[in-house]
Amino acid sequence: MWAEYGQFSLCLAFAAALLTVISTFRKDALIASAGASAALKAQFIALLCAFICLVMAFIISDFSVTLVASNSHSEKPLLYKIAGTWGNHEGSMLLWMLLLSAYCASFAYFKVSKVETSKIEYRVLGLICIAIIVFILAASNPFLRMDTVPIEGRGLNPLLQDWGLAIHPPILYAGYVGFAVPYAMAIGTLFSGAADRQWARQILPWIMTPLAFLTLGVGLGSWWAYRELGWGGFWFWDPVENASLLPWLFGAAMAHGAFILKRTGALGQSTLLLAILTFSLSILGTFLVRSGVLTSVHSFAVDPKRGLLIFIFLMIVLGGGLGVFWTKRSASGKPITWPLTSRLGFMAAGIGLLLTIAGTVLLGTLYPLAIDALGAEPITVGAPYFNATARPLGWLMVGIMVLAPFALWTTPLTLTGIIQDHKGGLISALVGVIAATLTLQHFQTDIWQALLFGVSVFFCGLVVTFAISHAPKTLSGMSMIFAHGGIALAALGMTGAAFFSSETIVSVKPGDQFETAQKTLVFGGVERGKGANYFYDRATVKILDAAGHIKNELTPERRWYPAGNMTTSEAMIDRTVIRDFYVTLGDLRTPGADAPDWALRVYDRPFISWIWLGCILTFLGSGFSAIHHFRRRRVASSMPAKAAPTHLILGPAE
């Protein structure tokens, strides 16, 4: 009965979404907002019940439900039975909608803006919810029953049977769907008010919250691909990967635009436009994953009909938002009066760079699809294009991050301002020299790469030391330190991995010894066995120290899953603070031989783990910022308007 309960709950959610929109047409604005707020909260409860029902159907292996039979198996571990709920198109759309409703209910709970604006915001959110629920009920229903119940299910895609990817979709979707709130707030402001400093304070937590989750989601996806796909890299420039990066870039630009708006009252119209475009790019990512227009390991569906419906929704969101912006935008706005080399100038330049990077990624992602749609000869835009365009812009962004803190908010940067902060500069320079020396000594590299890495350490060190010494000892200050320090650390990880990595492919027999990346390895052979729901070939690779003693032992595997008849590679990583030694087991070269040859692929990846540590720090920084701004909103809203002191609303650093 779980499927029937879930279907009923989903219908209740649709009714609540419909009631949200209807309530906003009440003449009394206060009653209209109260009714819409209650309906959004009821919608969340109904969707939570529907999702729990789907999870229970997976846990008990109810193969009478089509979705369970297609994506689960009775022998799967419990974690992957639950993950199977969203490891497919229909279930992931229900999760997508559940998280959207959670944002809507939270928005209704925390709402402190004008009542007239709230009516429009609730109406926009309600219409978005109606569209998604109708899409689920009509074209992606997860609760459909089968006419003939199979004895066993097909199982979840083996590539998805990893705990990192099990938690990755909920976190990534929490980033995607959260930008619906800034979108609705932008539409509401365009209809009934101006994007002023007070509006910036209201929207900032709704920008930083999804940006934090999207940061962690993108990082988790990269980490899963690195561990699970066996190619030893962290970003393949896959179109679906790019689709998750685009809203992050636009979201980061929108966040900085809102910070400038909060401080100066300028860039209000730009922030409104970015709110519309960011959510539209989130829908674009959903379209690319589920439309079948591209082939990717990250894709869910290949149904063009579903893709067409999502594309229509994308056009409505984008076209409607841009139409409202064009007709309702304010011709007047506070002019930009600060110098280009002030801190505000550097922040504005950073916004421009983020959008330029996003533009190059968007062009490289969509251009092949457009060429194919026009019937021309298909082309492929790969890593060389993205590395040649996005990488220099990324380092220019780091350069701006280095210089911006040394400038005052509205005063041009001077050499004196840089020299005065001599302690941070000396510490960073010392660490940079040590880094260059150690990399030249321990990695197979030339002096120029070592020097460039040392300079990178120096620049990123300036970002961190300045933030630590000058940031206020508050939650807001901690958010700045973590967010910008995380970006700096991730940039160092990418640089180190690009400069010092090496790769070795060998064909070995049991007992063979070989050298790679200044390490001695011994291949101990391969054993076969059975796991929970798969069979495996498990190799033993011993790492020896200088004296010939065993320092560590790695056991990479190749797994075969009978349900789905799919083979995967499970890498093993010898990880230290500064490097990953990464081994994967390849094909059997000489089957049937007494001493068979096996292919081994060995990667040396210095500093690569710093990328994901940087993602975690940036996630924490964005999260701290969201908490800080939510707390300020709650405090401000709990005080009488006339009694609220200016310093509490504006803050000492504003």
495 and 512 inside one domain:
no
Cβ(180)–Cβ(103) below 8 Å: yes
Is 90 among the domain residues?
A: yes
How many angstroms separate the CA atoms of 163 and 254, rounded? Answer: 32
> pLDDT at position 648, please?
32
How many angstroms separate the CA atoms of 100 and 103, rounded? Answer: 5
% of the chain with per-residue pLDDT over 90: 48
Is the confidence at residue 440, as pLDDT, over 70?
yes
Is 150 among the domain residues?
A: yes
Bridge-based pairing of strands 535-544 and 550-554 is antiparallel
> pLDDT at position 50, please?
97
Chain centre distance of CA 7: 30
1 and 58 inside one domain:
yes
55 and 122 inside one domain:
yes
Taking only Cα atoms into account, the Rg of the chain, rounded to an integer number of angstroms, comes to 27
Q: How many C-beta neighbours within 10 Å does residue 442 have? A: 14
Is the confidence at residue 69, as pLDDT, over 70?
yes
Cβ(395)–Cβ(455) below 8 Å: no
> pLDDT at position 650, please?
31
Is 194 among the domain residues?
A: yes
E strand or H helix that includes residue 6: helix 2-23
Is the confidence at residue 591, as pLDDT, over 80?
no
Q: What is the mean pLDDT of residues 76-82?
A: 88
129 contact partners, CB below 8 Å, separation of at least 6: 13, 17, 20, 43, 97, 100, 101, 104
Is the confidence at residue 103, as pLDDT, over 90?
yes
How many angstroms separate the CA atoms of 274 and 240, rounded? Answer: 21
Q: Which has the higher per-residue pLDDT, 287 or 330?
A: 287
DSSP state of 569: E
403 and 442 inside one domain:
no
Burial class (CB in 10 A: 0-12, 13-18, 19+), 263: buried
Burial class (CB in 10 A: 0-12, 13-18, 19+), 276: buried
At residue 645 the predicted structure's pLDDT band, cuts being 50, 70 and 90, is very low
The pLDDT tens digits for 372-392 are 777 777 777 888 899 899 889
> pLDDT at position 253, please?
96
At residue 349 the predicted structure's pLDDT band, cuts being 50, 70 and 90, is very high
544 and 616 inside one domain:
no
76 and 192 inside one domain:
no
Tokens 């569209």 — which residue? 131
Is the confidence at residue 644, as pLDDT, over 70?
no
Is 195 among the domain residues?
A: yes
Edge-to-edge order in the sheet of strand 502-508: 502-508, 598-606, 579-588, 572-575
Residue 584's CATH number: 2.60.98
Question: What average pLDDT does the chain have?
Answer: 86
The pLDDT tens digits for 443-498 are 878 888 899 899 889 888 887 877 777 677 778 878 888 888 899 899 999 999 98
How many angstroms separate the CA atoms of 57 and 38, rounded? Answer: 29
Helices and strands (H, E) in the chain, number of each type: 20, 10
How many angstroms separate the CA atoms of 259 and 250, rounded? Answer: 14
**Token pair listed for 226:** 């690195």
190 and 335 inside one domain:
yes
At residue 647 the predicted structure's pLDDT band, cuts being 50, 70 and 90, is very low
221 contact partners, CB below 8 Å, separation of at least 6: 165, 168, 172, 241, 244, 298
433 and 369 inside one domain:
no
Query: Considering only 122-126, 148-152, 287-291, 328-332, which range has the smallest mean pLDDT?
Result: 328-332
146 contact partners, CB below 8 Å, separation of at least 6: 63, 64, 65, 66, 69
Is the confidence at residue 317, as pLDDT, over 90?
yes
E strand or H helix that includes residue 249: helix 239-264
Per-position b or e across 177-194, b if 16+ CB within 10 A of its CB: bbbbbbbbbbbbbbbbbe
356 and 278 inside one domain:
yes
> pLDDT at position 155, please?
76
How many angstroms separate the CA atoms of 652 and 654, rounded? Answer: 6
How many angstroms separate the CA atoms of 92 and 88, rounded? Answer: 6
Query: Considering only 339-348, 379-388, 598-607, 626-635, which range has the smallest mean pLDDT?
Result: 626-635
Is 367 among the domain residues?
A: yes
Is 274 among the domain residues?
A: yes
Per-position b or e across 445-482, b if 16+ CB within 10 A of its CB: beeebbeebbebbbbbbbbbbbbeeebeeeebbbbbbb
Secondary structure of 18-49 in HEC code, one letter for each residue: HHHHHHCCCCCHHHHHHHHHHHHHHHHHHHHH
Torsion angle of C-alpha atoms 466, 469, 471, 473, degrees rounded to 10: 160
Is the confidence at residue 308, as pLDDT, over 50?
yes
Is the confidence at residue 171, as pLDDT, over 90?
yes
The pLDDT tens digits for 485-535 are 899 899 999 999 988 998 999 999 988 999 988 889 999 999 999 987 789
Is the confidence at residue 551, as pLDDT, over 80?
yes
> pLDDT at position 35, please?
92
Is the confidence at residue 417, as pLDDT, over 60?
no
Is 251 among the domain residues?
A: yes
585 and 640 inside one domain:
no
The pLDDT tens digits for 210-225 are 999 999 999 998 998 8
Domain membership of residue 588 as a residue range: 502-607
388 contact partners, CB below 8 Å, separation of at least 6: none
Is 416 among the domain residues?
A: no
Strand partners, 251: none
At residue 116 the predicted structure's pLDDT band, cuts being 50, 70 and 90, is low
| Sign of the CA dihedral running 545, 548, 554, 560 | positive
Q: Return the ∠ at Cα 469 (arms to 401 and 414), rounded to 5°.
A: 55
380 and 242 inside one domain:
yes
How many angstroms separate the CA atoms of 436 and 613, rounded? Answer: 21
150 and 199 inside one domain:
no
85 contact partners, CB below 8 Å, separation of at least 6: 51, 54, 55, 58, 91, 95
Q: How many C-beta neighbours within 10 Å does residue 577 have? A: 8
How many angstroms separate the CA atoms of 90 and 88, rounded? Answer: 6
> pLDDT at position 27, please?
84
The pLDDT tens digits for 261-282 are 998 888 999 999 999 999 999 9
> pLDDT at position 415, please?
55
How many angstroms separate the CA atoms of 47 and 91, rounded? Answer: 12
> pLDDT at position 643, please?
40
Cβ(530)–Cβ(545) below 8 Å: no
Name the domain count of the chain: 4
User: DSSP for 293-357?
Assistant: SS--TT-----HHHHHHHHHHHHHHHHHHHHHHHHH--S--PPP-S-TTSHHHHHHHHHHHHHHH
How many angstroms separate the CA atoms of 156 and 149, rounded? Answer: 18
Is the confidence at residue 646, as pLDDT, over 50?
no
Query: Considering only 48-57, 194-203, 230-239, 490-499, which range has the smallest mean pLDDT?
Result: 230-239
Q: Which has the higher per-residue pLDDT, 654 or 584?
A: 584
Q: How many C-beta neighbours within 10 Å does residue 249 have? A: 21
429 contact partners, CB below 8 Å, separation of at least 6: 458, 461
Boundary (domain end) residue, out of 161, 188, 222: 161
How many angstroms separate the CA atoms of 146 and 639, rounded? Answer: 57
